Structure 1
Amino acid sequence: MISLDLNQLFPFELDQFQLEAIAALEAGKSVVVAAPTGSGKTLIGEYVIYQALATKRQVFYTTPLKALSNQKLRDFREQFGADNVGLLTGDVSINRHAPVLVMTTEIFRNMLYGINVSDPVAMAVNDAIEAEGAESISPPEPAVNLKDALANLAAVVLDECHYMNDRQRGTVWEESIIYCPPSIQLVALSATIANSAQLTDWINQVHGPTALISSDYRPVPLQFHFCNNKGLAPLLDQKRQKLNPKLKGDRNRRSQQFRGRGRRNEPSLGFVVSQLAQRQMLPAIYFIFSRRGCDLAVTEMDKVPLVNADEAARLKEQIDAFLSANPDAGRAGQVQALYKGIAAHHAGILPAWKGLVEELFQQGLIKVVFATETLAAGINMPARTTVISSLSKRTDNGHRLLNASEFLQMAGRAGRRGMDRVGYVVTVQTRFEGAKDAAFLATADADPLMSHFTPSYGMVLNLLQTHTLEKAQELIERSFSRYLSDIVLAPQEQVLADKETRIAKLEQELAGVDISLLKDYEKLRDRLREAKRLRKILIQQAEEQRLSELATYLPYVLSGTIARVKISKKVTMAAVIVAKVPGAGQFPWYICLTEDNRFLVASYKDIVLVGEPIAETDATLAAIEIPPELIVKPGQTLKGDEKSLAIAHLIPNLEMPEYPPEVLQQQAAVLAIEARLNEHPANQYGDVGSISKKLRKSDELNRELEFQRNVLNQRRRKQWDEFMALVEILRSFDYLENLKPTAAGQAAAALRGDNELWLALAMRSGELDELDPHHLATVCAALVTENSRSDTWVNLGISPTVEEALTELHDIRRQLFRMQRKQMVAIPIWLDYDLVGLIEQWALGMEWTELCSHTSLDEGDVVRIARRTLDLLSQIPHVPFLPNSLKQSAKQAAQLIDRFPISEVI
């Protein structure tokens, strides 16, 4: 890369991070530039363009949104000349061979797949055509060599690269980086993210040498303010690190919720705007997280004068000219507010009207734009102030606080470079959020960039068109998701490594040991344990039987009977029963004299054996007196006297009876196994028990290692398992054969959408082949329109022809749904009946105003449905192996749909 004279290119002094990025590019590296919104990141992309123009090479400039692509086209035409700049957004192609080509990131990804945008996919095979069995099937046209197409490409600028965080579309960014040839420099421009070093390291691994250029410098510094019903106040202290002490009286949102103070402190919309106007803090972007909220705000403010006479005259001139040229494009109920410098900006508004709002705001004629957060996504609408009306927003899972990146993205719109000394960010007291929440977000670090890499049918088919399954797996496993997963799992990997080290040490200690002998020894040990366990059971059974028999006649024994009693848990002693006394329950207590001349109070449970009465002697039991101090309670003892000693000497030893034969037999088995163990060859190793313990530990660690390794591999293989699930579904529909796309698979590979297989199944079903253009447009709308919300209505029905086609497609949809459920795949399969009557009537020529009167949808939503329909219709003529009649009908249907305000405004 040659060096250019920066003084000639840019009539101002460049910031340090810009110089560092340019130096890295000139050294042949790719760059990741992470810097705040409005810091001048785009200049680095512009430098790459100047380089390409100087060396007669090409640059692709990718953006996440069509609106951003259109804006860049206008900006770059003015900067580099109209002949040098082109546009590709799928359904729009302008000057496509220009040296500077602006496009959505999806278009670049498709190019890397080998899809030539607006040209047929190049995978011609004559036998596949013959297999279709009809000349009316359109084959692929000759291929354009991808290597040749990209040979002159010097660099690709990935603007708004933090869009990789987007759940729906982030995969496209990862694919673009993974598939991009290493010879092409990547210029990734990102808002501030917490893990920019990780992103850079990943690109360095999967693409090539990459430098991280990060900066927290903001040319127009931000000042944070907080507004409640008392007015505006600085949000942070003088060091801008903590909450302004004067605002500490504002309770947090939980206190507000339960005490009701938040609602009392909440300022009105008019009060907030008046505060901004008094402090010369306009123009402002006022973020409100709902379309309805934006529209209501415009209505509430449309009587507030914010522009002077000169500005009002300029507004009137331009608005009147716009409405004269586009009578159907005026936003109902908001024209008068626009004359006064107040507007709304959200996805429900017509693109043409939004374009007018953006143009007037850039001229400084609009003072307040009430916008949803989509405006924070890079549209060029510089403001002196941004107002964030709430610090929480509604999601599919309920309300949640904004995260730091969302907050900073909106805050970053404040401050116009070269116009403002400072940019103001105002957060507003609400019922649930207060100053503490605002200060937390204002001082929080940016969130890390996450990966939402998810395989799709299009990804599977396009990769397998040009790669083996093994190579496809290699590409999938190069995802940022896998990279982050490896980092997260690194500590667990260390645990496994430690286990492997312990196993290796144990195996070393077991070296020279015949493991089979040890295992045989262990089996004998196990048999011995089992034999002892069985012996114990038999002994317990014998004891229970003996005690049961004893309990039946123990109440009837007489004084003078010889017995054996428990002295402790394991010790018994011969004794004579001297007397019976009432006990605490059914059985009496027994006062016994033991052979060691002690009186013992025993319960029936303490007597384990009963014999014959003691022999008659001169010393009779009658002569024995039970000491009165003996406590009559089981377990109590008291030493006897001389008289009792004479009796104690006469107590014979009462032996326990021999165990029954089954116990003796089991005892013999135990002794036999013990003998075998004593003679076992494993004894040559010394302490067999210790060695066996090591062997058991080694086996245990190996089992744990295998299980934990499988768990880790499953987590790592998540994307690949999803890829293979899609492979199985494609095989079941014959879209893959021998891991290569069939003719049907090639058709699906050429399509782009939420579910490429579903689109291809519908296109190749035969149900669409003979439809009239307006019917085809309606069916295509049904295939790409998300299910409507319950509160949405359209009172335009569909024709019987369309309904019949959709009914037939419903059976195919059911088959695909079953297969996806079997493989646990959750890719949407749209088939809408409720909204698409709008498209049929539009295709039949209904006027825009009348069309919108038949639905509760916002005009912008109708445009979105129509444009998605138009996008699909525009693809059909370039999809191989579809009937020519279908392709011709699609071209005509596209012409019916592509009229103002659906047509793109460039």
Structure 2
Amino acid sequence: MVLTPEKLFPFKLDPFQLEAIEALNQGNSVIVCAPTGSGKTLVGEYAIHRALHENKRVFYTTPLKALSNQKLRDFRDIFGHEKVGLLTGDTSVNRDAPILVMTTEIFRNMLYGTTMGEVGQAVQDLQTVVLDECHYMNDRQRGTVWEESIIYCPQGIQLVGLSATVANGDQLTDWIAQIHGPSQLIYSDFRPVPLTIHFATGKGVFPLLNENKTALHNRLKRHRKPPRRQKGQKKKPATATMAFIVAQLQQKDMLPAIFFIFSRKGCDKAVQTIDHLSLVTPAEANVLKQRIDNFLAANPEAARAGQVEPLYRGIAAHHAGLLPAWKSLVEELFQAGLIKVVFATETLAAGINMPARTTVISSLSKRTDSGHRLLRASEFLQMAGRAGRRGMDFEGHVVTVETPFEGAQEAGYLALATPDPLVSQFTPSYGMVLNLLQTHSLDETRDLVERSFGQYLSTLHLAPQQQAIDDVERNIELIREQLATVDDAMVAEYGKLKERLREERRLLKILDKQAMDTLSGDLLTAVNFTVAGTVLSLKGKHIKVHNPIPAVLVTKILGPGKVTYLACLTADNHWVMTTASDVFGLYEKYERIAEVDTLVPPTELPLRAGSKLAGDEGTAPVATKIPTSLPTLDELAPEVKEQRDRMQTVADKLETHPLNEFGKPKALLKKRQRLQTLEKELQDRQEKYQRYASRYWEEFLNLMAILETFGGLEHNQPSKFGQMAAAFRGENELWLALALDSGEFDHLEPHQFAAACAAIVTEITRPDTWTHYRTSNPVTEALEGLRSIRRKIFQQQRRYQVALPVALEWNLIALVEAWALETDWNELCKNTSLDEGDVVRILRRTLDILSQIHHIPFLPASVKSTARQAAYLINRFPVNEAASGATNAPDPELAGDNKDGDPIPTEEE
């Protein structure tokens, strides 16, 4: 029986869905870029139907465990309970099912052990891999997982990438086509439920854009933001409050709504500000009460303080600080339409299916590690895309909120902005190095590393540089052709002669000046006392001649600035106006020429040093009386003459050089010099190009060098210690292996071992966190023993410019030890500043590393036994919230993807 979309889906499909299905049927991989809520998931569902029809398997990967759990429930409803399985780092459900939902890290981990080009046991009979939320490649910390999954995936397996709209979907598709196989981009900007964007002020909620949605609404073009609250000012600026906006939405029938607030405390505070409102009908209130009461009866420790009563009235918060069980309850109630307002952080927009009629973006800027900045277009679109429920709403609404920092202009900019492009976050790690070198040669490994999306984008970005290199190479080839008939040595020799002539001229100039300085002596002073009629010679700054000119002083003239000018008559009957600095010599042995007393400098002679004017019949008799047999410079300074002769010898060689026979020597020499310049430029450009083009491989080699230093690699192959490190999954596998192999943890009791393991995987990014519990002495001593190892890792990483974290938390791990000693959950949370969700994440990361230890080779059996006992001690509610039918403990083979949420903690308080 032929499988057709019409038989599977009892409704009309959109054109992009049909196009994607056709591409899949033709054997192509597809990248579907379409807005949130447009029906991208249907393409993945078709791939599942087709695989089941052909007795094949499908892996459906997601970025979040919460989303994986949601897909497990959805697919069980569609395809049947027994056909769907789940794999995450702490859950294994029906792992041999034909439909296997998993986090993307799990899929990547499966592929690590597969030789390039082979289909490993883990992916036997696998027809399709669906990469949901494929735009997660942009995620700074985890984006590399998506790239690795695509790079390592065997080419016979079809890929279905489901992504929000991005600016460069064509580049992503082209890259996948190059490194994986035929791929097709399916792009759609159609939204089944159109969006209307609003702007909320203290006076109400108004349309943000004009009717054509091309620019700001006219009424907002001159609207000014409220002034910022000044220090000491009691009255707050007149901005829209949460209660006011909720009232406006309720009045305009725009609920249910998701309010995005970039702060956990902001979400919790917002719940309290409207806890006096009731947003549900009496019937809805009854259903809510029953479901909430049932949940609290089963999970009494999961209640969020201060949020149970608002939940009864249809109001909730959703952020990483909440217990996962409580968040799941909120998600389920919201999906059922029983919650009308959710105050959530940005993580809710990451793919969890919680559509609403309206999304409210409370701030258009956010605080990041690099400072406060405006939202990026894709961040805005991701949150806005949660508005509008398909099949329920005629339109969705997005409300942007005015603040003293962002107004209508910023809101309009984001509303009209196009999506951001995907960028590569590909980053080699110790685990990548070790796992690839276990199954691949160095050349094969380089090929895999240089298949990354980052490498592909680098090639595109380097296109202008490559074009410049090509242009330089063409110019070099052209000049070489022009110089082909000329002996290069001959041109080089001519060039050396030119350089020598330049040097001889320079020396002549120096000697000439030295002779002038020596011969002039104290002339400047003597000239002041010189009288008219004195014979002198002129040569200097304003009288530029080689040999001094014989002359007679006629008169002195005081000019502007009290400068004394000398009006002189030369032996060749010329008037010269000069200064004392141009007098080369005074000759008192000659009698004074008295006839100058009758001469007057002509008015036409400018009062300017160096000016010259021909004499007349009246001055001629005087000129004839000027002695012309004055000593020359060559006679006074023979070393100058010798230097001039040397210079002339070189000049004569150039005149008679054989290169003159081939045309103009200067032109040929210029071409050779240009050739040398271009060759140097080419080398510089190529070095820079290669340095940037191979930067991922250079990073890989740097990690190899560090691993060799610590004994993880021998002759480019993992040693026993390297195989141990390769089996870990974490942010710094080398650190984990060194810590566990050090022996420092071997003597610890299970509860202490859990705390010590927590220390090497936990990074606290805020300095204001605390706990009243104290780490026990054995744990502290064990961690002290790791200081020198950690210092050596830092030294090597700095040397090779590697920035991988080397976690070693001292204080908050006391929570793990207290929990392992069976401390009550509520009591545990009272003794720390961390939110409950943060505590759960620390415990789950600890459980994750403990679960891995069981399958790490070459570790002592006693350490593995201690790790199993430690895992048992901490794996209870709310840490253990395994899905129905799941194993009670994490699956060690699948561990290493414990990324349920961001680093601990990340959202601002």
Q: TM-score, normalised by structure 2?
A: 0.92
Aligned residue pairs total 875
Contact 2:535 2:592 in 1 (8 A): no
Q: Note the C-alpha offset of 1:394.
A: 0.7
Take 1:614 and 1:630, find their aligned partners in 2: how far apart are those partners?
27
Per-residue Cα deviation, 1:394-434 (whole angstroms, up to 9, x for no partner): 11122100010000000000111111111111111111111
Q: What does residue 627 of structure 2 align with?
A: 652
Matched to 1:13, the amino acid is K
State which of 303, 310, 313 in structure 2 corresponds to 1:337: 310
Secondary structure, counterpart of 1:107 in structure 2? helix
Secondary structure, counterpart of 2:785 in structure 1? helix
Q: What does residue 320 of structure 1 align with?
A: 293
Secondary structure, counterpart of 1:164 in structure 2? helix
Secondary structure, counterpart of 1:414 in structure 2? coil
State which of 567, 575, 593 in structure 1 corresponds to 2:569: 593
Contact 1:614 1:651 in 2 (8 A): no
Q: What does residue 15 of structure 1 align with?
A: 14
State which of 797, 813, 824 in structure 1 corresponds to 2:790: 813
Take 1:448 and 1:313, find their aligned partners in 2: how far apart are those partners?
47
Take 2:458 and 2:730, find their aligned partners in 1: how far apart are those partners?
28
Q: Note the C-alpha offset of 1:677.
A: 2.8
1:900 aligns with 2:877: yes
Q: What does residue 554 of structure 2 align with?
A: 578
Per-residue Cα deviation, 1:772-820 (whole angstroms, up to 9, x for no partner): 2111110111111103522111110011111111111122111111111
Q: Note the C-alpha offset of 1:643.
A: 5.2
Contact 2:533 2:592 in 1 (8 A): no
Report matched runs for 1:820-831 at 5 Å: 820-831=797-808
Secondary structure, counterpart of 2:790 in structure 1? helix
Report matched runs for 1:222-233 at 5 Å: 222-233=195-206
Q: Note the C-alpha offset of 1:74.
A: 1.1
1:450 aligns with 2:423: yes
Q: Note the C-alpha offset of 1:587.
A: 8.7
Contact 1:85 1:101 in 2 (8 A): yes
Secondary structure, counterpart of 2:426 in structure 1? coil
Q: Note the C-alpha offset of 1:591.
A: 3.9
Contact 2:226 2:239 in 1 (8 A): no
Q: What does residue 33 of structure 1 align with?
A: 32
Secondary structure, counterpart of 1:901 in structure 2? coil
Q: What does residue 92 of structure 1 align with?
A: 91
Take 2:14 and 2:629, find their aligned partners in 1: how far apart are those partners?
106
Higher mean C-alpha deviation, range 308-317 or range 540-549: 540-549
Judged with a 3 Å threshold, the aligned counterparts in structure 2 of structure 1 residues 36 and 611 are, in CA distance, closer, same or farther, namely same
Report matched runs for 1:467-616 at 5 Å: 467-551=440-524, 553-565=526-538, 569-570=543-544, 573-580=549-556, 589-595=565-571, 600-612=576-588
1:250 aligns with 2:227: no
Judged with a 3 Å threshold, the aligned counterparts in structure 2 of structure 1 residues 389 and 257 are, in CA distance, closer, same or farther, namely farther
Secondary structure, counterpart of 1:60 in structure 2? strand
Per-residue Cα deviation, 1:668-697 (whole angstroms, up to 9, x for no partner): 222222333334333332322211111111
Q: Note the C-alpha offset of 1:89.
A: 0.7
Q: What does residue 134 of structure 1 align with?
A: none
Q: What does residue 129 of structure 1 align with?
A: none
Q: Note the C-alpha offset of 1:517.
A: 2.0
1:43 aligns with 2:42: yes
Matched to 2:658, the amino acid is P
Take 2:509 and 2:612, find their aligned partners in 1: how far apart are those partners?
31
Q: What does residue 758 of structure 2 align with?
A: 781
Take 1:496 and 1:266, find their aligned partners in 2: how far apart are those partners?
57
Contact 2:228 2:237 in 1 (8 A): no
Judged with a 3 Å threshold, the aligned counterparts in structure 2 of structure 1 residues 229 and 611 are, in CA distance, closer, same or farther, namely same
Take 1:809 and 1:629, find their aligned partners in 2: how far apart are those partners?
95
Matched to 2:76, the amino acid is R
Judged with a 3 Å threshold, the aligned counterparts in structure 2 of structure 1 residues 796 and 577 are, in CA distance, closer, same or farther, namely same
State which of 764, 770, 773 in structure 2 corresponds to 1:793: 770
1:82 aligns with 2:81: yes
Per-residue Cα deviation, 1:146-191 (whole angstroms, up to 9, x for no partner): 5343231101000000000001000010011111111000000000
Q: What does residue 174 of structure 1 align with?
A: 147
Contact 2:33 2:188 in 1 (8 A): yes
Q: What does residue 139 of structure 1 align with?
A: none
Q: What does residue 411 of structure 2 align with?
A: 438
1:54 aligns with 2:28: no
Secondary structure, counterpart of 2:102 in structure 1? strand
Q: What does residue 397 of structure 1 align with?
A: 370
Per-residue Cα deviation, 1:514-559 (whole angstroms, up to 9, x for no partner): 1122212212221221122111211111112222353354344343
Contact 2:543 2:610 in 1 (8 A): no
Matched to 1:272, the amino acid is I
Matched to 1:228, the amino acid is T
Take 1:616 and 1:5, find their aligned partners in 2: how far apart are those partners?
124
Report matched runs for 1:572-721 at 5 Å: 573-580=549-556, 589-595=565-571, 600-612=576-588, 620-624=595-599, 644-653=619-628, 655=630, 657-659=632-634, 660-721=637-698
State which of 883, 889, 898 in structure 1 corresponds to 2:860: 883
Per-residue Cα deviation, 1:751-773 (whole angstroms, up to 9, x for no partner): 11110100000111111223221
Q: What does residue 326 of structure 2 align with?
A: 353
Unaligned runs of 5+ in 2: 884-909
State which of 409, 413, 433 in structure 1 corresponds to 2:382: 409
Higher mean C-alpha deviation, range 591-600 or range 884-893: 591-600
1:803 aligns with 2:775: no
Matched to 2:336, the amino acid is Q
Take 1:236 and 1:257, find their aligned partners in 2: how far apart are those partners?
31
Matched to 2:4, the amino acid is D
Q: What does residue 268 of structure 2 align with?
A: 295
Matched to 2:627, the amino acid is P
Judged with a 3 Å threshold, the aligned counterparts in structure 2 of structure 1 residues 628 and 870 are, in CA distance, closer, same or farther, namely closer
Per-residue Cα deviation, 1:564-610 (whole angstroms, up to 9, x for no partner): 33696436753222345667899964443344656555421232333
Q: What does residue 873 of structure 1 align with?
A: 850
Higher mean C-alpha deviation, range 752-761 or range 486-495: 486-495
Contact 1:611 1:654 in 2 (8 A): no
Judged with a 3 Å threshold, the aligned counterparts in structure 2 of structure 1 residues 671 and 729 are, in CA distance, closer, same or farther, namely same
Matched to 2:71, the amino acid is K
1:731 aligns with 2:708: yes
Q: What does residue 65 of structure 2 align with?
A: 66
Q: Note the C-alpha offset of 1:726.
A: 0.5
Higher mean C-alpha deviation, range 330-339 or range 82-91: 82-91
Take 1:843 and 1:616, find their aligned partners in 2: how far apart are those partners?
118
Q: Note the C-alpha offset of 1:623.
A: 4.8
Contact 1:734 1:742 in 2 (8 A): yes
Report matched runs for 1:218-297 at 5 Å: 218-251=191-224, 264-297=237-270
RMSD: 2.5
Judged with a 3 Å threshold, the aligned counterparts in structure 2 of structure 1 residues 537 and 621 are, in CA distance, closer, same or farther, namely closer
Unaligned runs of 5+ in 1: 116-121, 123-144
Matched to 1:863, the amino acid is V
Q: Note the C-alpha offset of 1:664.
A: 2.1
Take 2:30 and 2:600, find their aligned partners in 1: how far apart are those partners?
107
Contact 1:563 1:654 in 2 (8 A): no
Secondary structure, counterpart of 1:353 in structure 2? helix
Contact 2:257 2:360 in 1 (8 A): yes
Secondary structure, counterpart of 1:878 in structure 2? coil
Take 1:510 and 1:398, find their aligned partners in 2: how far apart are those partners?
58
Judged with a 3 Å threshold, the aligned counterparts in structure 2 of structure 1 residues 642 and 614 are, in CA distance, closer, same or farther, namely farther
Take 2:150 and 2:81, find their aligned partners in 1: how far apart are those partners?
28
Matched to 1:51, the amino acid is R
Per-residue Cα deviation, 1:206-251 (whole angstroms, up to 9, x for no partner): 1000000000111111111111111111111110111111122223
Secondary structure, counterpart of 1:784 in structure 2? coil
Judged with a 3 Å threshold, the aligned counterparts in structure 2 of structure 1 residues 419 and 522 are, in CA distance, closer, same or farther, namely same
Q: What does residue 311 of structure 1 align with?
A: 284
Take 1:696 and 1:32, find their aligned partners in 2: how far apart are those partners?
53
Judged with a 3 Å threshold, the aligned counterparts in structure 2 of structure 1 residues 228 and 60 are, in CA distance, closer, same or farther, namely same
Take 2:607 and 2:494, find their aligned partners in 1: how far apart are those partners?
55
Matched to 1:884, the amino acid is A
1:424 aligns with 2:400: no
